[in-house]
């Protein structure tokens, strides 16, 4: 494709598994050098358990501001999938599309500008495990910007993303009463039986036509076959495409938790929303028209079931669009790859968008 990917390969070859703080920070140090070479100033949000989050600020002048959002971490532990490779059409390696490749798209597009102002970058280090640590930071920073572009992978036809499902992860811990299953059966309160009732009730919250799913992914409970179970636990997630469905599901989860199907049992709800729903809206669509004018190309759009930090930026009020990284597939597997053609197309597109934005703020 006539492009030297060796600079990207350097980053891909350094493991940045979310819990590998040393590797994530080594990646962050390299990104810091590259963004500072373009005139950005760096604010480091130091962390002990995760890699440090990095906020790169350009020079500002009066007018609207844009935040570019990405994550450095990947899902691959050290030794599992670490090597960069390429052939005529594809680049391969951990993060080539999710999403070190996306960060390099924004970097190369910024390098194409004569001057950079009112465009800042925020890179987090815990996105792959739900952004629990960075969520408040992302929300707080995004409130300072009119626009946010997120550099997760593009769609198969280089679509950008206008909507993502909201995601919540929850636990229900159930208390019963242990008793001998033979001699004292009626004296027990079966937490496992209560869990079974709650599981069925939770599963009925799924509404595929509305884009809502609820999955109980893990069940724990009991001591042994001869003992009435004194405790049980359900771990589940809910995904929804609208705020109306979000509110319905959250209310129903609370009601199911507080309802005792087995007399004498009690339950406690834990967890909550990880990422609020990102709904397509008119402000987005109007902004897309501006991007099309600046870039001179039609932008295809799609909606996705998975969440990203775009959900957080959107909930903060920034006009948010996602999917500005290169198209790829096999992400979260050892077959992860990104299209060279899409990578170069994205750099060209985003370069024009940055130029048009700065000329019209």
Answer yes or no: do 308 and 355 share one domain.
yes
Q: What is the pLDDT along the chain (361 residues), one digit of tens a residue?
A: 568 999 999 999 999 999 999 999 999 999 999 999 999 999 999 999 999 999 999 999 999 999 999 999 999 999 999 899 999 999 999 999 999 999 999 999 999 999 999 999 999 999 999 999 999 999 999 999 999 999 999 999 999 999 999 999 999 999 999 999 999 999 999 999 999 999 999 999 999 999 999 999 999 999 999 999 999 999 999 999 999 999 999 999 999 999 999 999 999 999 999 899 999 999 999 999 999 999 999 999 999 988 899 999 999 999 999 999 999 999 999 999 999 999 999 999 999 999 999 999 8
**Total-model pTM:** 0.90
Answer yes or no: do 46 and 30 share one domain.
yes
Answer yes or no: do 117 and 209 share one domain.
no
Answer yes or no: do 271 and 337 share one domain.
no
Question: Is residue 135 assigned to a domain?
Answer: yes
Question: Is residue 197 assigned to a domain?
Answer: yes
Answer yes or no: do 155 and 176 share one domain.
no
Answer yes or no: do 124 and 269 share one domain.
no
Question: Is residue 1 assigned to a domain?
Answer: no
Q: Which residues contact 341 (CB under 8 A, 6 or more apart)?
A: 1, 89
Answer yes or no: do 49 and 187 share one domain.
no
Among residues 232, 260, 275, the one where a domain terminates is: 275
Backbone angles phi, psi at 344, to 5 degrees: -70, -35
Tokens of 88: 């005529």
CATH code, 251: 3.30.70.360
Answer yes or no: do 156 and 291 share one domain.
yes
Answer yes or no: do 113 and 127 share one domain.
yes
Question: Is residue 220 assigned to a domain?
Answer: yes
At residue 1, the pLDDT reads: 56
At residue 309, the pLDDT reads: 96
Q: Which class for 336: exposed (0-12), middle (13-18), buried (19 or more C-beta within 10 A)? A: buried
Among residues 231, 248, 275, the one where a domain terminates is: 275
Answer yes or no: do 257 and 126 share one domain.
no
Distance CA 339, CA 346 (A): 10
Among residues 226, 242, 275, the one where a domain terminates is: 275
Domains: count for the chain: 2
Domain extent, residue 207, equals 166-275
At residue 3, the pLDDT reads: 87
Per-residue pLDDT tens digits for 65-116: 999 999 999 999 999 998 999 999 999 999 999 999 999 999 999 999 999 9
Answer yes or no: do 31 and 144 share one domain.
yes
Answer yes or no: do 39 and 144 share one domain.
yes
Backbone angles phi, psi at 332, to 5 degrees: 70, 15
Greatest distance between any 2 Cα atoms in the chain: 83
């Amino acid at each position: 494709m006539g492009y030297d990917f060796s600079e990207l390969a350097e980053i891909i070859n350094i493991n940045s598994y979310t819990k590998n703080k040393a590797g994530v920070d080594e990646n962050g140090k390299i990104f810091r050098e590259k963004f500072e070479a373009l005139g950005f100033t760096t604010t480091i949000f130091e962390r002990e358990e995760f890699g440090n989050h990095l906020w790169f600020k350009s020079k500002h002048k009066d007018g609207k501001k844009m935040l570019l959002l990405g994550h450095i971490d990947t899902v691959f532990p050290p030794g599992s999938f670490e090597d960069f490779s390429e052939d005529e059409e594809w680049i391969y390696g951990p993060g080539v599309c999710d999403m070190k490749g996306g960060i390099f798209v924004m970097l190369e597009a910024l390098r194409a500008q004569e001057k950079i102002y009112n465009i800042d970058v925020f890179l987090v280090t815990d996105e792959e495990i739900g952004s629990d640590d960075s969520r408040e930071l992302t929300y707080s920073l995004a409130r300072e910007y009119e626009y946010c572009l997120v550099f997760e992978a593009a769609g198969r036809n280089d679509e950008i993303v206008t909507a993502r499902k909201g995601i919540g992860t929850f636990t229900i811990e159930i208390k019963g009463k242990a008793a001998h299953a033979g001699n004292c059966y009626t004296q027990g309160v079966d937490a496992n039986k209560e869990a079974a009732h709650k599981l069925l009730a939770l599963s009925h919250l799924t509404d595929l036509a509305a884009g809502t799913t609820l999955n109980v992914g893990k069940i724990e409970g009991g001591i042994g076959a001869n003992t009435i179970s004194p405790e049980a636990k359900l771990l589940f997630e809910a995904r929804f495409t609208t705020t109306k469905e979000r509110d319905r599901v959250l209310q129903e989860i609370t009601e199911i938790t507080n309802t005792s199907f087995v007399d004498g049992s009690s339950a406690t709800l834990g967890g909550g929303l990880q990422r609020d729903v990102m709904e397509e809206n008119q402000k987005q669509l109007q902004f897309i028209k501006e991007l099309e004018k600046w870039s001179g190309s039609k932008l295809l759009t799609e909606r996705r079931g998975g969440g990203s930090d775009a959900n957080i930026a959107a909930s903060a009020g920034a006009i948010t669009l996602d999917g500005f990284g290169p198209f790829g597939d096999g992400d979260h597997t050892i077959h992860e790859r990104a299209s060279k053609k899409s990578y170069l197309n994205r750099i060209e597109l985003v370069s024009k968008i940055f130029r048009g934005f700065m000329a019209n703020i």
